[in-house]
Amino acid sequence: LTMLEAGSLGDIAPRAQSVLPLLISKTDEVNWMLEQMVEASRLEEGRLALKKGRHDIVGLADAAIDGVKMLLTGHEVTVSDGQGRIEAEVDPDRFQIVIRNLLSNAAKYSPSGTEIKVEIKRNDESATIAVSDQGVGIAPEDQQNLFTRFNRVQSTQHVQGTGLGLWLSREIARMHDGDLTVSSKVGHGSTFMFKVPVRPT
């Protein structure tokens, strides 16, 4: 599909060209759901082994945003990482899974045209990547079970997904000796905070 869109296979009719972005976005969404299911299966079977190395998590977050840009179409994404490079011992692929999950959820549960904020901060021996949206928000009673398998946030919108994303993301965060938490109020959006330990500079 991306080859067609780029013109690598020759010219296509304008009508077909106009639907390619939607087809690519939906294909990305299906691929993303499949990846979550595969990773969740590995985790359940005890085969999800992290391959940690020293990486710049600011760069990894930027790569994660770029990796789901088609899913974020219609939203304005702003990134605040004023502290520059922040290095931590992480599995780069699994680290990006968490960020992509949070961005995907933010896009799904917030109206088109609204802002999604990504803020990366370092505090002493930890770093936090916060993803905030202006969406429907999450009721306190729903927050209690938010990180369990197959749990879905109740919404008036029809939102596709596996119900595995937040559970998988929190497990990955804790495998990094970090955590994933949420702050939310119904009607006022949500902020998910992914925290990982960092080495002293």
Give the three-state DSSP class for 70.
Answer: coil
- 149 neighbors 135 (Cβ within 8 angstroms): no
126 backbone dihedrals φ, ψ, rounded to 5°: -145, 160
Residues forming beta bridges with residue 193, ordered by sequence position: 130, 181
Write down the mean pLDDT value for the chain.
Answer: 86
Cβ neighbours of residue 86 closer than 8 Å, sequence gap 6 or more = 56, 57, 58, 120, 122, 127, 198
pLDDT digits (tens, 9 = 90+) for 94-135: 999 999 999 988 998 899 899 999 999 998 899 999 999 999
* pLDDT band at residue 84 using 50, 70 and 90 as cut-offs: confident
On the question of pLDDT at 35 being above 90, the answer is no
pLDDT tens figures, 135-157? 989 888 888 888 887 666 655 45
- The letter for the amino acid at 13 is A
Q: Which two tokens stand for residue 184?
A: 């939310």
Structure tokens at 180: 């994933």
Which residue carries 């946030």 as its tokens? 153
For residues 35 and 170, give the distance between their C-alpha atoms in angstroms, rounded to a whole number.
16
Q: How confident is the model at residue 159 (pLDDT cuts 50, 70, 90)?
A: low
The CA-to-CA distance between both ends of the chain, in Å, stands at: 45
Per-residue model confidence (pLDDT) at position 121: 93
